Amino acid sequence: MTASRDIACRVRGFGAYTPVDVLTNFDLEKFVETTDEWITTRTGIKQRHRLAEGQNASDAATEAARLALADAGMEPGEITHVINATCTPDYLCPNTACLVEAKLGIMGAMAFDFNAACSGYVYGLSMARAIVAAQPDARVLLTATEALTRRLNWADRTTCVLFGDGAGASVITADGEGALLEDVLCASDGNLGGLLTIGGGTHTPYAKGDPVGEDFFVQMNGRDVFKHAVRNMAAISQDVLARNGLTTDDVALLIPHQANLRIIEAVGDRLGVPAERVFVNLHEFGNTSAASVPLAIADARAKGVLRPGMRVLLATFGGGFTWGAALLHF
Ligand code: ACO
């Protein structure tokens, strides 16, 4: 249990961005051996958004950040830290947070990326809380952005139908108005990392001119990921509730990682949260990895599903494996 739990931590602004280009299941039918019926019944996904040529994860993050800053009533120059979650950065170096910082016209803030795959935003809340605990005047911009469609093997129907691009952002401070971060809990199991991989790192020593192999793209053992996702998202949600003396009866809305409707339903069942208290928008966006939870928060607010006074439980799971849960009181 960390000391930073005792420090007030406010999530003051939320923003989300998805690219204009939409790829429906029917669009996919034209070049992937699949059907709208298969994708809909197995995953719940109907469409996903795709970054335009020349548009990158940093651009999506910058758009989301602008909206989050406006929502918080803050200027970019007030930000002291930019922390960015992604597993599909623009480059291995420079980091995407520095690119976002430059695009926002911020100078001198501490800026770095971290990779917790789909758990990135919840991991980011944990880091932001630690930063404001150590430095109470910190103004942390947390972005979570993905360009997953750039790392899909369109010849692999078991993965390419699942993912989309997008970004979400929040501003976190120790003071001010905003959702209270009541608690956040993160976990991992590196022994299972091989079940969900995206290449492009230095593990494969490519020489100039070499064609990329299948390892360059998203590769996943879907069935195993499914089982671990359900088990761990439910367990860590129960843990974060229990250590705060709460049950799911105290939660107005569950916002889970938007990977697969069947995973979401199974997590809701295990936690005993009825479907009307579980937010789902994956039919519109597919799995946007780190961006999925902040995108869902912004969407739930915009749709009036998430309202002031509500306690929200966030639950997530991703490659690594990583997983986490957080309690936000709006
Ligand atoms: N279109 C048509 N048929 C397909 C497709 C497709 N897109 N993909 C697979 N199939 C076929 C398979 O080839 C297989 O055919 P076969 O029986 O002739 O061999 C059949 O459908 C069943 O395949 P399964 O893999 O068993 O299908 P399953 O019901 O397990 O669903 C899925 C696959 C959707 C990937 C599921 O396992 C899943 O959602 N897993 C979790 C994935 C996930 O959420 N990952 C992300 C979490 S972590 C993160 O976000 C990074």
Considering the domain 3-178, what is its CATH architecture? 3-Layer(aba) Sandwich (3.40)
Domain boundaries in the chain? 3-178, 182-329
Catalytic residue, candidates 9, 49, 257, 260: 257
Rounded distance between C-alpha atoms, residue 17 and residue 145, angstroms = 9
Q: Which among 148, 223, 282 is the best mutation to test ligand 1's pocket, defined by most ligand atoms within 8 Å of the CB?
A: 223
186 a catalytic residue: no
Catalytic residue, candidates 87, 118, 160, 186: 118
Q: How many Å lie between the centroid of ligand 1 and the Cα of residue 158?
A: 5
pTM for the predicted model, two decimal places = 0.96
Name residue, tokens 């079940």. 195
| Calculated CA dihedral for residues 158, 18, 300, 132, nearest 10 degrees | 100
Residue whose CA is closest, atom 51 of ligand 1? 318
As a whole number, mean pLDDT of residues 135-152 equals 98
Eight-state DSSP code of residue 251: -
Amino acid 226: pLDDT:
97
The mean predicted confidence, pLDDT, of the chain is 96
257 a catalytic residue: yes
Rounded distance between C-alpha atoms, residue 190 and residue 323, angstroms = 11
Q: Which among 226, 228, 233 is the best mutation to test ligand 1's pocket, defined by most ligand atoms within 8 Å of the CB?
A: 226
Q: Which among 34, 158, 322 is the best mutation to test ligand 1's pocket, defined by most ligand atoms within 8 Å of the CB?
A: 158
Name residue, tokens 């947070």. 97
Q: Please determine, for residue 307, whether its predicted confidence score (pLDDT) is greater than 90.
A: yes
* Domain spanning 182-329: CATH 3.40.47.10: yes
49 a catalytic residue: no
Amino acid 4: pLDDT:
52
Q: How many Å lie between the centroid of ligand 1 and the Cα of residue 315?
A: 22
Angle in degrees, CA 81, 83, 85, rounded to 5: 170
Rounded distance between C-alpha atoms, residue 115 and residue 84, angstroms = 8
Q: How many Å lie between the centroid of ligand 1 and the Cα of residue 190?
A: 23
| pLDDT tens digits, 241-299 | 999 999 999 999 999 999 999 999 999 999 999 999 999 999 999 999 999 999 999 99
Q: How many Å lie between the centroid of ligand 1 and the Cα of residue 39?
A: 9
| pLDDT tens digits, 62-116 | 999 999 999 999 999 999 999 999 999 999 999 999 999 999 999 999 999 999 9
pLDDT band at 5 (very low <50, low <70, confident <90, very high): low
Q: Who lines ligand 1 at CB under 6 A?
A: 34, 38-39, 42-43, 117-118, 157-158, 161, 196, 220, 222-223, 225-226, 229, 259-260, 263, 287, 289, 317-319
| Atom nearest to 157 CA in ligand 1 | 7
| Helices and strands (H, E) in the chain, number of each type | 10, 13
pLDDT band at 7 (very low <50, low <70, confident <90, very high): low
| pLDDT tens digits, 204-255 | 999 999 999 999 999 999 999 999 999 999 999 999 999 999 999 999 999 9
Q: How many Å lie between the centroid of ligand 1 and the Cα of residue 147?
A: 21
Rounded distance between C-alpha atoms, residue 262 and residue 282, angstroms = 11
Q: How far is CA 217 from CA 148, 150, 152, 296, in A?
A: 9, 8, 5, 25
Q: How many Å lie between the centroid of ligand 1 and the Cα of residue 118?
A: 18
- CATH topology match: 3-178 vs 182-329: yes
